Amino acid sequence: MDANKIVVDFARKEHSVHAPRICDLIYESALQRGTGIARRSNEYISGKIESGKAVVAFDGDRLVGFSYIECWGHGDYVATSGLIVDPAYRHLGLAARIKEKTFVLARMRFPYAKIFSITTSLPVMKLNSRMGYKPVTFSELTDDEEFWQGCQGCVNFDILQRNNRRMCLCTGMLFDPAQPAENTVATPYIMAIGNKLKKLFRIKR
């Protein structure tokens, strides 16, 4: 398998035919992690692709990776989400390439928006830190009700509700174009430890 032959690009309308496979990959990834959004519909993913808000990765004709962006709070915030890589193509640096391309897409489409991500994944935290995201409390993210309703598909939604949306097992990260972050190599590891502590706290409750 040659990683250099994998093409990562902005999605085009004709790529919407791959929506069912993307949905399956997202669902399978969520099951493996035990957290995250349980499922997205074909229509939802197709909509992201057809509106130019997605990134795809192909090895020849085979779709092997995907991510998308979503605008919230009347364009003040943009979330990058749904980052998945075909299990057979992991450990090739593909997730980083997709994440970086999705970040470029968000900056192109919404240059003045704050870009945020919520995740429990250490690799994603590392990528985010490298691109200038900083860890923040949930109160610094969008207050758009529709975004938070999207968390209902997550197995940890009860934790979010119980804490009045102040915290969950995910870590919030934010890129503010007006205030670049000054992260260190230790930043994502500190966040990962925080996630583990939150998980222990949940078990004790």
pLDDT tens track, the chain, 205 positions: 677 899 999 999 999 999 999 999 988 877 776 655 556 789 999 999 999 999 999 999 999 999 999 999 888 999 988 889 999 999 899 999 999 999 999 999 999 999 998 887 788 888 888 888 998 988 898 888 888 887 777 777 888 888 887 778 788 899 999 886 565 555 555 545 555 555 555 544 3
End-to-end CA distance of the chain: 46
- Contacting residues for 175 by C-beta, under 8 A, at least 6 apart: 103, 114, 115, 116, 128, 131, 132, 133, 134, 181
Backbone phi and psi for residue 143, each to the nearest 5 degrees, phi listed first: -100, 15
Closest CA to 1 of 82, 83, 94: 94
CB 37 within 8 A of CB 84: no
Q: What pLDDT was estimated at residue 168? A: 81
